[in-house]
């Protein structure tokens, strides 16, 4: 009988906590926080992409410059 009562007690305890989910206010706060985090991540990715694009343009520009002739090559 003790085991049966223990099982029933655990079942009721579990059912109580499972049925008590977050309130509508808590859900709204969680959604707002998730939106803030998502926007922050999107901004960080965008900044990173812009920085990578700027760096590649600089590298491409410097790679396109022809080397200058040395003093000996200029005299021949």
Q: What is the pLDDT of residue 29?
A: 94
For the chain, give the percent of residues with pLDDT over 70: 66
C-alpha span between 52 and 45 (Å, rounded): 10
Q: What is the pLDDT of residue 31?
A: 95
Q: What is the mean pLDDT of residues 46-64?
A: 67
pLDDT at 30 over 60: yes
Q: What is the pLDDT of residue 69?
A: 57
C-alpha span between 10 and 25 (Å, rounded): 29
H-helix or E-strand containing 42? helix 24-63
C-alpha span between 42 and 61 (Å, rounded): 29
Q: What is the mean pLDDT of residues 55-72?
A: 56
Cα dist from 53 to 30, 40, 46, whole Å: 34, 20, 11
pTM tops 0.85: no
């Amino acid at each position: 009988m003790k085991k049966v009562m223990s099982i029933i007690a655990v079942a009721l305890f579990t059912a109580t906590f499972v049925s008590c989910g977050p309130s509508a206010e808590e859900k709204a706060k969680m959604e707002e926080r998730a939106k803030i985090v998502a926007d922050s991540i999107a901004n960080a990715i965008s900044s990173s992409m812009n920085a990578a694009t700027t760096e590649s343009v600089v590298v491409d520009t410097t790679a396109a410059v022809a080397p200058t002739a040395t003093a000996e090559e200029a005299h021949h």
